[in-house]
Amino acid sequence: MANKKKKHKKKQTPAKKKRKILYGRIFLAFVILFVIIYILIMLIPQEIKTVHISGNEFLTDQEILELASLEDYPSTFTHYSYKIKKDLESSDLITNATVKKHWFYEVSIQVEETRPLFYDTTKKKTVLESGKTSNRSFDVPILINYTPDKIYEKLITKMNDLDTDIIRRISEIQYDPNDVDPNRFLFTMDDGNYVYLTANQLNNLNSYVTIISKFEGKKGILFLDSGEYFQVMEG
């Protein structure tokens, strides 16, 4: 007998079930998540309670709080770190600010200041090491007279080389040119001595304490524009 060929029916692959997107469950999950976040926010203190400030030498803590708009210890959620940093660095007196928050209600601020150099009586402003000016008053020397622009700019540049301690020892600066040098200045020191210097030699003033100690407390005029000649004042 001839072998009968068996017919095999091709098995049909069951149609894939369409997955229904459960919008209701997703919405419910978002609602629950929102409620949890809201409760957590309510448990976290809303106001900034403590501000730590460091790096400031010329600006007071209160002035920094005011620049950062933190003097009234506002809500921590309206004063983000980047906003505080931006507010601080908008001041000509601050070159850089680092702001960090700890546990939402503590803020640490570290600033780098622009050093004030002298008060210009002709402009009635304080000159900063950046060359900009400020209406604020600081314990700095007073430039008592007009100085030509180019020499004025050189004075600012060279005073940047002075130690802060030395700047604090100067009470007055007078532009006092002579026939030899148009860059000459007379510095009145807070210890009662006077120092003649040219703008180009201004960094020599960093050695003032060492130089003046050689004269054993005598008062006089120190000519640093021509060596270290010291002229003792009578009486």
Domain borders along the chain are: 50-113, 116-232
Query: Does residue 3 surpass a pLDDT of 60?
Result: no
What average pLDDT does the chain have? 88
**pLDDT at residue 220, as a whole number:** 95
Residue bearing the bigger pLDDT, 121 or 102: 121
Closest Cα to residue 53, out of 123, 113, 8? 113
Query: Does residue 122 surpass a pLDDT of 60?
Result: yes
**pLDDT at residue 104, as a whole number:** 76
Tokens of 170: 């100067």
pLDDT band for position 19 (cuts 50, 70, 90): low
The mean per-residue pLDDT over the stretch 25-43 comes to 78
Query: Does residue 51 surpass a pLDDT of 80?
Result: yes
The mean per-residue pLDDT over the stretch 205-233 comes to 90
Residue bearing the bigger pLDDT, 180 or 119: 119
Query: Does residue 138 surpass a pLDDT of 80?
Result: yes
pLDDT band for position 235 (cuts 50, 70, 90): low
Dump pLDDT digits (tens) for 92-102: 999 999 999 98
Q: Which residue has the tokens 């006092």?
A: 176
**pLDDT at residue 79, as a whole number:** 86
The mean per-residue pLDDT over the stretch 201-228 comes to 91
Rounded Cα–Cα distance for residues 131 and 153 (Å): 8
CB-CB contact of 56 with 64 (8 Å): yes
**pLDDT at residue 217, as a whole number:** 84
Query: Does residue 65 surpass a pLDDT of 60?
Result: yes
Domain spanning 50-113: which superfamily? membrane protein fhac (3.10.20.310)
pLDDT band for position 29 (cuts 50, 70, 90): confident
**Which strands sit side by side in the sheet containing 194-198, from one edge to the other?**
133-134, 125-128, 116-120, 142-143, 170-175, 184-189, 194-198, 220-223, 229-232
Domain boundaries 116-232, CATH class: alpha beta
% pLDDT > 70, the chain: 88
**pLDDT at residue 34, as a whole number:** 85
